[in-house]
Structure formats: C-alpha cells, structure tokens
Structure 1
Amino acid sequence: MITVLNGLPTGVVGFQANGKLTAEDYTGVLEPALAAAGADGGKIRVLLDFGGEFEGMEAGAAWQDLQMGVREWSAWERIALVTDHAWMRDGLSMFAWAVPGEVRAFPGAERDAAIDWLAAD
C-alpha cells in the first residue's frame, strides 16, 4: 500500500510504502499525485519512504512502475529513497544510471536529510 505524505516542502511530493505494492497503488495514488506535482510542467522531486513493513511488489505494480518512469522521463529531477533495506539501497546504487534525474539513498534515520536534499536549490 502507498500513502501520500503531507507536510513536505513546496516542490517535494512524498510517499510511504507498506506491505505489498499493487498496480492499483500506482494508478490510484502515485500517478495522480505525481501528475498534480508536475502539472505546471516543472520538475518533480520525490521522497520514497520504504519503511520496515515493505513486502515487495506484485507483477502489475512493477509494470506500472516501469511505465510511469518512462512516460515522464524528463520531469524527474530528484528522487530520494529512504529505507533500511540494504538490498534496496544497493539496487539503487547499481542502477542509478538508468534512473532519470539525481537519485540518492538514505537510511531511515536520515529521512530529514533526504527531505532537505530534495528541497535544496
């Protein structure tokens, strides 16, 4: 399940992932929030918080993830992944070259630093 995070700085949209992500999480929550964030044609800065309860993605969610990234390729400016799952941080490091914009991984204890990095000019 994905929920939209409130109270973030202007220009930053954030999401908290828990449990297993579904295609509906992407089409019903992620896509509308990202569309609203980039509605003015500006760049998108995203906080992805994958807390301790994240259990993976269904196949449909993985497909939606791929489609969404490709469709809005030029809009992605910064992505901060916050997680204590080493395999996610390592995976991001390995494939950062394939992700649009700047990406950084932060441990859960550094969530505030991730938000500061996203909001910085």
Structure 2
Amino acid sequence: MISRLENLPNGVVGFEASGKISAEDYRDTVLPALTEAAAAGEVRFLLVVTDFDGMTGGALWEDLKVGVEHLRAWKRIALVTDLDWMAHVTSLFGWMTPGETKTFPLAARDEALAWVVG
C-alpha cells in the first residue's frame, strides 16, 4: 500500500509504502502526484518504506513507466528505510535512476526531507 505524505514543502512529493505494492497504488496515488509535480518543473521525491512484502507485476510495470514518462523532471529522490537490502540495491543501481538518489535510515527522515528539498 502507498499513501501520500501531506504537509511537505512546496516542490516535494512524498509517499509512505508498506506491505505489498499494487498497480492501483501507482495509478491512483503516485502517478497523479508525480504528473502534477513534473508539470510544475521538477520532481523532488521522498519515499518512506517501513516494510515491504513485494510488488505485483502490474506495479513493477507502473514503476518503470513513472520513471520514464517524467525522465527529465526528476531532480532528487530520497529513500528512507531500515531495510538493508533495499538501501543496498538502491546504492548499486541508483546511477540508473534519473536525478540524484540517496538513502537514509528511518530515524533520519527529517534529514532526508532537508536533502531532497536542497
């Protein structure tokens, strides 16, 4: 499930993900917010992942489409999680992601927000 984070600074789009991620999560929650942010100029993205039980095939496809559709708009992506494997994979493949990518532990959520805004 993905829910949008509220009360973030202007220009920052944020989400909290937990459990199993579905295509509907992307279509109904992520995509409208990213489309709005990209139309405004650039995407500064904060993703907080507390636990993760996988993604449906449709969610994987939506994830790929989201990145490509707004390729030039991505500025910064902050991943906030205590899941070591997710932070490790992000550090290995972050160079493939548009914009800058950085990971933070859950305890450093405020630091992640400050970085993504900067």
**TM tier relative to shorter chain:** over 0.9
1:26-41 alignment to 2 at 5 Å?
26-40=26-40
1:104-119 alignment to 2 at 5 Å?
104-119=102-117
1:88 maps to what in 2? 86
1:10-29 alignment to 2 at 5 Å?
10-29=10-29
Deviation at 1:103, TM superposition (A): 0.3
Query: Between Structure 1 and Structure 2, which shows a larger proportion of strand residues?
Result: 1
Report the RMSD for the aligned CA atoms in angstroms.
0.8
Structure 2 unaligned segments of length 5 or more: list them. none
2:66 maps to what in 1? 68
2:42 maps to what in 1? 43
1:3 maps to what in 2? 3
Amino acid at match of 1:70: V
User: Partners of 2:74 and 2:39 in 1: how far apart?
Assistant: 13
What is the TM-score when the length of structure 2 is the normalising length? 0.96
Q: Deviations over 1:15-42 (max 9, x none)?
A: 00011000010111100011112222x1
Q: Percent identity?
A: 51
What is the TM-score when the length of structure 1 is the normalising length? 0.94
Asked whether the 8 Å contact 2:38–2:70 carries over to 1, the reply is: no
Amino acid at match of 1:17: A
Amino acid at match of 1:48: L
Structure 1 unaligned segments of length 5 or more: list them. none
